[in-house]
């Protein structure tokens, strides 16, 4: 019986001493968080230049004898992680209506007076089939907008570039390209 008392006492003592010597639990944890960046430049959805049209209508003598300007809000919406340029060009040398042509240089494209949120140096571009800088050194940013004026000056609409051409709709594509610097 004394043996049982001694064993019980030792067991109780081991339990008591064992719980006092238990190691403390962790109270902090460390996690690594990575942010991986890639350079991005994009003409974003919501740009009026994507799938939109600009329609000039010459119905009266006054139309042929005056400047016609069509302003398109949010023509371009660009997101870029670096400064960038925007270039513009026509898909060919002429507006086409079957075999009938009007040279693309009748059209001037430039930033509207209220040009939007895109910075940089803005240039008026007489359209051609070669890339030309519409905006240079625009600062990086997200969803930067550019409102554009499309103008056919009276000097072109009242010249043989347009006068004397068969009636109809003359069409050409205009391509905008944003390029990171």
CA distance 153 to 110: 13
Which range is least confidently modeled, 23-27, 29-33, 59-63, 101-105?
23-27
Nearest to 132 by CA among 173, 177, 73: 177
pLDDT at 7: 58
In sequence order, what DSSP letters do the residues of 2-42 get, joined into one string?
HHHHHHHHHHHHHHHHHHHTPPPPP--------------EE
What stretches of 24-117 show up as alpha helix (H) in DSSP? Answer: 61-64
Burial label for 3, CB within 10 Å (0-12, 13-18, 19+), is exposed
* Residues pairing with 126 in the sheet: 108
pLDDT tens string 30-47? 899 998 989 999 999 889
User: Which DSSP letter does residue 113 get?
Assistant: S
Provide the phi-psi class of 39: left if phi over 0, else alpha when psi is between -120 and 50, else beta. Answer: beta
Task: Output the CA angle 134-135-140, nearest 5 degrees.
Answer: 150
pLDDT at 55: 95
pLDDT tens string 114-146? 999 999 999 999 999 999 999 999 999 999 999
Q: Which tokens hold the place of 150?
A: 């499309």
In sequence order, what DSSP letters do the residues of 130-177 get, joined into one string?
S-EEEEEEEPPEEEEEEEEEEEE-HHHHTSTTTTTPPSS--B--EEEE
Task: Say if residues 78 and 180 touch (Cβ distance below 8 Å).
Answer: no
pLDDT at 128: 98
Task: Say if residues 108 and 70 touch (Cβ distance below 8 Å).
Answer: no
pLDDT at 21: 52
User: Quick check: 26 pLDDT over 80?
Assistant: no
pLDDT tens string 160-181? 999 999 999 999 999 999 999 9
pLDDT tens string 69-111? 999 999 999 999 999 999 999 999 999 999 999 999 999 999 9
Name the pTM for this structure: 0.82
């Amino acid at each position: 019986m004394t043996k049982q008392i001694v064993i019980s006492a030792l067991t109780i003592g081991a339990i008591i001493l064992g719980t006092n010597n238990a190691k403390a639990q962790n109270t902090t944890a460390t996690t690594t968080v990575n942010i991986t960046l890639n350079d991005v430049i994009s003409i974003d959805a919501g740009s009026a230049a994507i799938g939109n049209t600009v329609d000039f209508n010459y119905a009266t003598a006054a139309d042929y004898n005056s400047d016609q300007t069509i302003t398109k809000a949010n023509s371009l919406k660009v997101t870029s992680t670096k400064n960038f340029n925007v270039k513009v060009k026509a898909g060919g040398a002429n507006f086409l209506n079957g075999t009938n042509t009007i040279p693309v240089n009748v059209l001037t494209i430039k930033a509207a007076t209220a040009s939007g949120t895109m910075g940089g140096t803005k240039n008026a571009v007489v359209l051609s089939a070669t890339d030309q800088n519409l905006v240079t050194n625009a600062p990086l940013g997200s969803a930067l907008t550019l409102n554009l004026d499309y103008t056919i000056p009276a000097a072109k609409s009242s010249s043989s570039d347009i006068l004397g051409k068969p009636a109809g709709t003359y069409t050409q594509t205009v391509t905008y390209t944003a390029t990171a610097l």
